Amino acid sequence: MEPKKELDEQTYQSNKKKLNMIALGILITAVVIGLGLIIVPRVTTNTSAPAVISDSELDAQIAVIQSEYTKKMGDPGWFEEQGIKDDKISAARKAKSNADSAAFKAEGENSFTTFRSVAIIIIGAGVAGNLFYFANFRKIAGYTAQGVMPVAKESITGVAPNIGDVAREIKKGMNQADKSDKK
C-alpha cells in the first residue's frame, strides 16, 4: 500500500481558494435568481395588471345605467326595459368582481414568488456560509485553540499537585496491601 500523502500548505491553499470561489459563486447565483424572481414578476404584472374598479366607480356606472332607462312602471315596454337595465347592472357588478378576483390572484402569486425568492436567497447564503466556514476551518480552529489553551494550561497547573497527591496515596495503599499479603 502506498502511504497516505499529507496535505501540504500549497494544496491546502489551493483547495481553500476553490471552496471560497464555489461558495461565492453559489451566493451570487442565489441572490441573482432570488432578486430576479422578485423583480421580474412585478415588472411584467404592472404592465398587464387588470384594472381594478373602485366602489365609487361602480356606483357611478350604475347611476349612468339607471339614468338611461326612465320609463315608469305601467308605461308600455317598462318590463323589458327593466330587464335590460338589470342585466347591464349585473354585468357591471360582475366586471368589478372579476377585476377584484384577478387582482387578488395576482397579489397572491406575487406573495408566493416573493416567499420562494427569499427562501432561495436564504438557502444559498446558508450553503455558501457553510462552504466559507469549511474552507476557513483551519484558521477558525487556530483562533479557538489560542483562546482555550491559556485556560487549559491554568487548569492543568492548578490540578497537577492534587493529581500527584492522589497518585502518592494510591501508591501507599498498594504498598501496604503488598506488605500485608506477604505476611
Question: What digits encode the pLDDT tens for the residues 79-106?
Answer: 788 888 888 888 888 888 888 877 777 6
For residues 114 and 150, membership in a common domain is answered with: no
pLDDT tens digits, 25-70: 999 999 998 888 888 766 665 545 556 777 788 788 888 887 887 7
Is 6 inside any structural domain? no
Q: Residue 87 to residues 23, 90, 93, 158, 163: CA-CA distances in angstroms?
A: 63, 5, 10, 96, 99
For residues 90 and 43, membership in a common domain is answered with: yes
For residues 125 and 151, membership in a common domain is answered with: no
For residues 92 and 159, membership in a common domain is answered with: no
Domain limits for position 157: 142-175
